[in-house]
Structure 1
Amino acid sequence: MSIKTLQASGLVQSVAALAAQIHDGAKVAVPPDYSGVAMELTRALIRRRPHGLHLVCVPVSGLQAEMLIGADCVGTLETSAVTLGEYGTAYRFAAALKRGDFRMLDATCPAVHAAIQAAGKGLPFMPLRGLLGSDLLKNRPDWKVIDNPFADGGDPIVLLPAIRPDFAVFHAPYADRNGNVFIGRRRELVAMAHASRESLVTVEEIRDVDLLASEETAAGTLTAAYIGGIAEAPRGAWPLKLWDIYDYDEAHIRLYCEAARSEDGFARYLAEHVQDSRQAAE
């Protein structure tokens, strides 16, 4: 397949067209900041303002979840953490959580990974032992404790229902002319894609290569069978980093953190850096 054929297939779309597929109430899986976050797609999504998204962070999130929550797009948040790390407090997340603006499903990193893997394997649940003794079990009635059926008794284990997102959303360096996407060693992206109905992916570029033709690239490639749409978005993870290709824009993230201390400041940030997409790209 040539790049022109791929573009004509309908798989290659605009960032806005990818955002338009994410409907109200959709369950959306997103990766941690270091894996490849589709921030340009996130800004397009905020411009659309879908309501009641069930955001699944695999296993944590930062700026992406913070901005979607601040823009009132999230109805349920399933994560083990939302943090901006050394850059400051996730103020819009914290304020919305205190107000009860969304349903919070507390988890742990192993729990999120296990539930995502269950869906990818077509299983209804996944057992996990490490949650026993934690207060999380009091707040997650959907997690069930049973006796290990292969033991003689006295061996409890937790069953986690599979997490089956409608969409996995992430950013990657490039796709090939057949719609395959290079994800390198980011195996959480594989798990997200396998668990989800389809993946919506932004990439730095589409290259006229076949990623599956080489053993070196095939091992780090997500095949087109899992892809529902691809959009070219140069620096599409900005202001977050993309692997070792470009780093965090620390000055901009600090600017965001300062603005997001208040609702008015957050609204001004959106008006300047999200609503005007051309300015945001600069």
Structure 2
Amino acid sequence: MTVPLDSLDALAARVSDGAFVALPPDNSLCPVSLVRALIRRGVRDLHLLGVPISGFATDLLIGAGCVRSLTTSAVTLGEAGLAPRFTAAMKAGSLRLTDATCPAVHTALQAAEKGVPFMPLRGMIGTDLLPQRSDWKVIDNPFADAPDPIVLVPALVPDLALIHAAMADRHGNVWVGRRRELATIAHAARATLVTAERIVEGNLMEDERLAPGVISSLYVSAVAVAERGAWPLGLLDLYGADAAHIDAYAKAARTDEGFRAYLAAHVLAPMPKAAE
């Protein structure tokens, strides 16, 4: 193998305290099994980047005391409502939040992907958010004949991108289907750690049907097998989200006691094979 095939715990051990970590949203191959392993390891002081929004996995990490700061466009559990541990942390003042927009997050990662210090972006002129972001600069378009303000968004370079994939091969190529934004995260980050449902034989990059949905092993640092590794979130067309479980979490995590009970039952305790 050109890319190490690690255990889930070994993959978690690669995430150091204080790391800048990019996580995909709940509907886009989020590595929940790896997040649980990080909580069990006791990682601390993470700076999370929601790409472009945050959800269940981020709320788990915040509640477990793993997160110092968060850059994102939103934090939500979707139809299950507010993210309760995020909400509690913000009320307590224990979490530093940098507010963004979905286009700004993607643009910043695209700048890092291309190796440039910034990229221009329209659509934020006149918004309430722009004056709050001193790192976003407004200039006049140098190619326009008339005043034409445009925003420059600095590149975001995560230390690590964490993603889940439907499958990986023994060369370290991973298949994410149509979720090509995950390739942008991998290209932008200094390293990418991947959990995968299964390992397949052959080379995914050599399959004309699958190659368009593959992240090359050039951008993958290590892979661990994690069956149902997105649960209770869904994974493409392989399995749907466990709405009842997410709803139960949202209700339990409204209190410190309820969240601790959830952690004890579903994160710190050994997970049944079917759940993981």
CA distance 1:253–1:89, change in 2 (3 Å) = same
Query: Aligned runs of 1:17-166 on 2, under 5 Å?
Result: 17-166=10-159
Alpha-carbon offset, residue 49 of structure 1: 2.2
Q: State the TM-score, normalizing by the size of structure 2.
A: 0.96
CA distance 1:217–1:105, change in 2 (3 Å) = same
State the Cα deviation string for residues 23-70 of structure 1 (Å, max 9, x = none).
111111111111111000000011122222111111012101111111
- Matched position secondary structure for 1:215: coil
Structure 1: 5+ residue runs without aligned partners?
1-5
For 2:146 and 2:69, locate their aligned partners in 1 and report how far apart those are by CA, in whole Å: 36
Question: Over aligned residues, Cα RMSD in angstroms?
Answer: 1.3
4+ residue runs over 4 A deviation: none
State the Cα deviation string for residues 233-252 of structure 1 (Å, max 9, x = none).
00000000001100111221
Indicate the residue corresponding to 2:199 in structure 1: 206
Q: Is 1:240 aligned to residue 233 of structure 2?
A: yes
Say whether the 8 Å CA contact 1:239–1:252 is kept in structure 2: yes
Which shows bigger deviation, 140-149 or 105-114?
A: 140-149
Structure 2: 5+ residue runs without aligned partners?
none
- Matched position secondary structure for 2:271: helix
Indicate the residue corresponding to 1:167 in structure 2: 160
- Matched position secondary structure for 2:18: coil
For 1:209 and 1:235, locate their aligned partners in 2 and report how far apart those are by CA, in whole Å: 22
Q: State the TM-score, normalizing by the size of structure 1.
A: 0.94
Q: Which amino acid aligns with 1:117?
A: Q
Q: Is 1:255 aligned to residue 245 of structure 2?
A: no
State the Cα deviation string for residues 216-258 of structure 1 (Å, max 9, x = none).
1111111111111100000000000001100111221121111
For 2:47 and 2:82, locate their aligned partners in 1 and report how far apart those are by CA, in whole Å: 22
Of 214, 217, 220, 1:224 maps to 217
Say whether the 8 Å CA contact 1:274–1:280 is kept in structure 2: no
For 1:54 and 1:31, locate their aligned partners in 2 and report how far apart those are by CA, in whole Å: 14
- Matched position secondary structure for 1:175: strand
CA distance 1:242–1:168, change in 2 (3 Å) = same
Identity rate, percent = 56
Alpha-carbon offset, residue 151 of structure 1: 2.1
- Matched position secondary structure for 2:97: strand
For 1:49 and 1:111, locate their aligned partners in 2 and report how far apart those are by CA, in whole Å: 31
Pairs aligned (count): 275
- Matched position secondary structure for 2:98: strand
